[in-house]
Amino acid sequence: MNILHLMFLFLLYSFIGWAGESLSKTVTRGHLINSGFLSGPVCPIYGFGGFIMMFLCALFIKLFPGISSSATPESFILLFFVSFAVLSVWEYAVGVLLEKTLHTKYWDYSKNPFNLKGRVCLKNSIYWGLAGLAFVKIFEPWQEKVLLPAVSSVPSIVLIIFDIAAYSLFAYDIAKNIHSAAGLYNALNKIKELSDIIKMHTEELEFHTTEAAKEFAGDKIHSLKIRETQLRLRLSTYAYRIRTAFPDVKSEMLNKIVLPDYDKHALKERLSELRRKRNKNKDLKEKR
């Protein structure tokens, strides 16, 4: 197995995890859900989780020869509890990392019994244990016998092109969403700043003595309103996606993006109306 195969497997694990979680949430809530922090069809936490299981599987085979093919109760119990523990620690670590870097708690199991600071809980850890069992007993043998030979038969240049394209999109997706999450504070401050400027210019309108000055000030206010609405719409769209993917998300910044000021449909209508009015005023000026 070379680096090209590992890069492909990471994307595959990330996609399978995203698909499974999105499907589960879609069925549970009755509408389509794009799960995870990223916009694309991948959840990196599952990619790293798959690599952790690959390492554990190799370690088990080395320490306990035949464990991957053994069907004894002892092997199932051992694999279950090791997966239970290791992947729970991984989920806890990722939760802490996201909270510290992005100041957002994307999942919260506080309402579930036997949870640890809301980052892990018994129910999810049981799922991790079962997932680890399925990986080692079912997926890993299939991967070794079918998937990797098939991938190995693909010309290296094709894998290189695929990996470059896929990871370029992956990196862009990560950068875009981290920028959006990290920029919430600045964006909210910018909206407040624009609102204050619009209010100031609106109050100053009555002091303009000529029609030309009033028209110039009105155009400026209109442009500021378009910028403010665009920014509100961008934040509303981001907040909606995050809240849909993570219903229990907790964030001081997201708590400020609430209705009615951030109603996505109302903001779209307002932006369309502002643009129509701007174009109408532009046409009227051109006819003079």
More confident residue, 9 or 102: 9
pLDDT at 122 over 90: yes
Listed residues 156, 180, 204: the one ending a domain:
180
Report residue 110's pLDDT band, with 50, 70 and 90 as the boundaries: very high
Per-residue DSSP letters for 191-229? HHHHHHHHHHHHHHGGG--SHHHHHHHHHHHHHHHHHHH
Residues 144 and 27 in one domain: yes
What total of structural domains would you count in the chain? 2
Task: Output the six-digit token pair for 136.
Answer: 């080692």
Residues 122 and 215 in one domain: no
pTM of the predicted structure, to 2 decimals: 0.77
Listed residues 180, 205, 220: the one ending a domain:
180
Question: What is the C-alpha separation between 219 and 173, in angstroms, rounded?
Answer: 36
- Beta-bridge partner residues of 250: 105
- Domain span at residue 44 reads 3-180
- Beta-bridge partner residues of 105: 250
Contact indicator for 118, 108 with CB cutoff of 8 Å: yes
The amino acid that residue 149 corresponds to is P
pLDDT, residue 288, reads 64
Q: Note the residue count of the chain.
A: 288
Q: Scanning the structure block, which residue is given the tokens 């990996």? A: 163
Which of 77-86, 165-174, 267-276 comes out lowest in average pLDDT?
A: 77-86
Contact indicator for 91, 124 with CB cutoff of 8 Å: yes
Residues 142 and 275 in one domain: no
Strand 115-116 with 120-121, pairing: antiparallel
Residues 54 and 139 in one domain: yes
Residues 111 and 239 in one domain: no
Listed residues 180, 195, 225: the one ending a domain:
180
pLDDT at 91 over 90: yes
pLDDT, residue 130, reads 92
pLDDT, residue 118, reads 93
pLDDT at 99 over 60: yes
DSSP strand E in the chain: where?
Answer: 115-116, 120-121
Question: What is the C-alpha separation between 191 and 199, in angstroms, rounded?
Answer: 12
Residues 25 and 153 in one domain: yes
pLDDT, residue 103, reads 83
